A and B are shown apart, each in its own frame.
Chain A
């Protein structure tokens, strides 16, 4: 994520200098995404170069020694645009887990079920950790932090659900004969886009026997 818009959004509230921006950003996101102050100043310089922020007129105030920034009209418009547009879902980043499982089902001799279960256990540990942190948080004062934790729980939960789905799909594939030109008549067509009967199907045998 770009921090440009985060800083613009904060500056829309009032003019601030770098350290203030950093502190505000961290407080409001539950310190989950730490910023270093260098990042903040670099970003401010770029925003100034692009005409989105400008030094505020602080002469005669207590702040006149520090570089206080405020939004320009363009910056304000850009901030409005950011709020009104959804966050774009970019092309998926390279996902190690998805790649790992894709390789596991296509390479012989890999116990896919074991790979899936190891991951499920690990992701579940993460859910437990987020839940503990949520329980320790103060409902009324830590709203930002709780929202962040909720988002992490939702993401981990989705991953576990996906792992369940992977397992179920592999089990279905394993039950089908190796060459499935057509399913039994009347049965819904299998939705798996992957070719049935790949070598990986054999690896869905129960690992616990």
Chain B
């Protein structure tokens, strides 16, 4: 049944008509044309759809748009200013070649930023365990892990992290 949902996405107030069943990821991709958030599975496992809701990483394929009523949502598009310098976590992924095809990347980066906010200097093992909910088929994770460790340190030294 269609209803109007209102929320903040990347700092801007937005609203749109949704059905009860409309997933947050559908609202972002189809209503708001924020296609940086991807869908790679239908069982809530791959993590390509990770965004932040009220500062915490969630799988936007496993949340209804109506559940985000009134929430502050952050997507990959909001991490760095349009056309501007990369957020430290994004920059670390580039520097350490933490992406190949780029499809899992937005979810990986959003997940990594959530980790970095909780843990300023995660160990390799902590990063690997944190990324349990993000599947990458290209990189073998080696460079993603390096990137997340470096990105977390860069965020801790004050160069970013204010993404929500």
Q: Do A and B come from one complex?
A: no
| A interface residue numbers (CB < 8 A to B) | none
Residues of B within 8 A of A (CB): none
